[in-house]
Amino acid sequence: MESRKTVFTETGIVATGQLICVAVMVGIFALLGYFDYTVVLGGIAGALVAVLNFLFMAIGVSLAADKAGNQDVKGGKALISGSYFIRILVMFAVLFACAKSGHFNPIALVLPLVFVRPTLTIAEFFRKKGV
């Protein structure tokens, strides 16, 4: 139960970071003169894909840790490998379909995938010691 709470807490941090970073990204597009509705749609879709990818990755890792705790290390490794393959495949399909539709700016669609790591790094910097 504690691991489930941690998964949702970290996913909330990633979602908040995505919201802030996408807003900054849209602002930069506007300052550079490239703003249109495709930038907003690309940012929203990319952020949604990034947050869902993180959520499913965290759930998969949590389930794999549970399997390893029950002495099923091989099952845990298989779960991680399968989860990774499926997540990458789904992300590629969704992002490719969005990019091909012409309603999503391709750069704004992909950039939110990069925002996850800096968000987690900054959150870790501000995390209270002992928590």
For the chain, domain boundaries: 2-121
Q: Report the predicted TM-score, pTM, of the whole model to 2 decimal places.
A: 0.90
With beta carbons less than 8 A apart as the criterion, state whether 45 and 109 touch: yes
Whole-angstrom CA distances from 17 to 46, 58, 78 are 13, 16, 30
pLDDT digit string (tens) for 41-94?
999 999 999 999 999 999 999 888 887 778 777 888 888 889 999 999 999 999
